[in-house]
A and B are shown apart, each in its own frame.
Chain A
């Protein structure tokens, strides 16, 4: 069983937890995902993580708006700056994992190619941070933002014309609690 974990010290690790029903003590092992660039010197948080659906690759997003793609052994495949400010949401396309959507504190949603993080489409549908995104199928996804809106996008017709679902009152929040949140994703 493998879990991916990000922490508040600017690092993320892939942990392998042995399956054992006999011994009481289980010793997990880990490999660190070394984020070069702004994160390594400032020790700012890794703010988002997501495994691909196949479990063969994973993606991390950082406080400074960079997105990284790794293989499941922890080797860096590519990285690039996609947002101005923290990446708050990250999800792989559920079909063949050929694209990734990222949602940021900058209110932008970016659809990029998972092989090289080339930007395919960008949406600025929210007035405020994008807190969550979820794929419905290979070409449709939804997003939620601090503006209280839920938007539904279709990648094949262009993400510049989403469907707005309004009803929630304004989210004053902020779990900027999110910047201290430990988050993980399972895979195996």
Chain B
């Protein structure tokens, strides 16, 4: 289990794991349609378990799914997953269908994040690249070569900048509205 996150509406829960899958859950439902937890099955500890609330299993990655990111609310139930197989996949989480595969990274992708605006996705990988993609057609918008492998990417709230933290203990800020990058080293 590597990451867990609620979608922007708080209805669906996504999780991803070393078992190469991501799963979409709706914890408010059960397979019998009965939300009374006392009706559910129990495991050997007596804990209530409700496998019926699993909506979709997203199972196309060939290695560990390490990170996931929900699209902003306006985009519907769209989810991005980052995998050690070098790809980022964009999914329709309700249908369980892969919409696009972003496949330019040469090694494990450690982080993926949707922009709060502009239908874009940023990814960071062991191959030392931060990449920004269009979430509409999967085209590559920007590619930045960094000094070391990229562990985590994130967006500023206005969607204008991407920050990446790197394996050499530095961070890089990429300004998408200009050609600036700013390095942060300790």
Contact = CB atoms under 8 A, between A and B. Distances in A.
Nearest to B171: A5
A186 B50 contact: no
Report, as a range, how many residues of chain A touch the other chain: 35 or more
B156 A164 contact: no
B18 A150 contact: no
Contacts of A135: 6
A109 to B, nearest CB: 12
A9 B10 CA distance: 36
Nearest to B168: A182
A180 B43 CA distance: 36
Interface in B28-53: 37, 43, 47-51, 53
Contacts of B98: none
Contacts of A25: 182
A145 interface: yes
B10 A3 contact: no
Interface string B144-159: 0000000110111100
A161 B66 CA distance: 28
Contacts of A133: 4
A27 B10 CA distance: 39
Chain B: number of interface residues, binned into ranges: 35 or more
Contact of A171 (B18, B25, B51, B175): B18
A175 B50 contact: no
Contacts of B43: 164
Contacts, number: 163
A67 to B, nearest CB: 20
A184 B18 contact: no
B37 A163 contact: yes
B156 A144 contact: no
A132 interface: yes
Nearest to B49: A164
Contact of B47 (A27, A152, A164, A168): A164
Contacts of B47: 125, 162, 164
Contacts of A172: 18
Contacts of A166: 49, 51
Contact of A21 (B3, B23, B54, B177): B177
Contacts of B154: 184-186
Contacts of A30: 184, 186
Given A15-B171, A169-B17, A173-B18, A5 B184 contact: yes
B152 A184 contact: yes
B77 interface: no
Of A28, A133, A144, chain B has the most CB atoms within 10 Å of the CB of A144
Nearest to B179: A24
17 contacts: A8-B169, A26-B180, A27-B182, A28-B173, A28-B184, A134-B4, A150-B25, A162-B47, A163-B48, A166-B51, A169-B17, A173-B64, A175-B2, A182-B165, A182-B169, A182-B171, A188-B156
Given A152-B13, A185-B154, 19 more contacts: A9-B169, A15-B184, A24-B180, A26-B173, A131-B1, A131-B2, A134-B4, A144-B4, A147-B1, A148-B1, A150-B4, A163-B37, A166-B49, A168-B23, A169-B17, A170-B19, A181-B151, A182-B167, A184-B165
